[in-house]
Amino acid sequence: MALDLAKYRTLFLEEATEHLAEMSSALLELEKDLGAAEPIDIAFRMAHSIKSMAASLGYESITELAHALEDRMEGVRSAGRVLGGADELKSLFHGLEGLETMVAAVRETGEAPPSQSELVERVRARTESAGAGPVPVPHSPDAISESDLEDAASDRPKKKSLR
């Protein structure tokens, strides 16, 4: 069956615009209080939602950047605060602006713009004060695989032990 992608593109634009506004407000709140729990949660969820919608429509560049922001915010959520302070917030704002530009491109052209690898890398890179090394790229070798999940869902004996 085929879904009406034009309808979902309209929905995407409406919801992504709202989510980006919420994310912007959340990051502004974090400027005042780096450990404010609700804005941290909001920014994380908004990045997650934009990622999911973009992936559903095949907007890979938007998915990639939103995923980087989501992972970054997950790190903030785990830490309970924006450890990198103003520098890290700046990186998050850059990511947000990147998403805003990309969503605007979809609005104007109906298509997602090309990937912005440098911006994705910048969002993933940690500032010195937040700790060394970039935010881990997903699907590390130790991650649970889809077949592990399928075994768990079907109550089948595990083919290999979970790592």
Partner 1 sequence: MKSDEAAFTETGENMKARVLIADDASFMRQMIREIIEPEGYEVVGEATDGDEAVAQYEALNPDLVTMDIVMPKRSGIDAVKGIIANRPDACVVMCSALGQETLVMEALQAGAKDFIVKPFKPDNVLNTLQKVLEKRG
Q: State which of residues 21, 28, 86, 143 lies at the interface with partner 1 (CB under 8 A).
A: 143
Instruction: Locate 134 and state its tokens.
Output: 């970039």
- CA 42 → CA 26, 46, 48, 132, 162, distances in Å? 6, 6, 10, 26, 31
Instruction: Locate 25 and state its tokens.
Output: 């407000």
Instruction: Locate 13 and state its tokens.
Output: 């634009």
Binding status of residue 15 toward partner 1 by CB under 8 A: yes
Least spacing, CB of residue 52 vs partner 1, in Å: 5
Least spacing, CB of residue 93 vs partner 1, in Å: 22
Q: State which of residues 25, 29, 36, 55 lies at the interface with partner 1 (CB under 8 A).
A: 55
Binding status of residue 52 toward partner 1 by CB under 8 A: yes
The DSSP annotation for 36-99 comes to -HHHHHHHHHHHHHHHHHHHHTT-HHHHHHHHHHHHHHHHHHHHTS-TTHHHHHHHHHHHHHHH
SS3 158: coil
Report the candidate in 75, 99, 81 with the shortest Cα–Cα distance to residue 32.
81
Q: State which of residues 23, 53, 82, 112 lies at the interface with partner 1 (CB under 8 A).
A: 53
Q: State which of residues 30, 43, 44, 75 lies at the interface with partner 1 (CB under 8 A).
A: 44
Binding status of residue 125 toward partner 1 by CB under 8 A: no
Least spacing, CB of residue 97 vs partner 1, in Å: 22
Contact footprint for partner 1 (CB under 8 A): 1, 3-4, 8, 11-12, 15, 41, 44-45, 48-49, 51-53, 55-58, 67, 71, 138-139, 143-146, 148-149, 152-153, 162
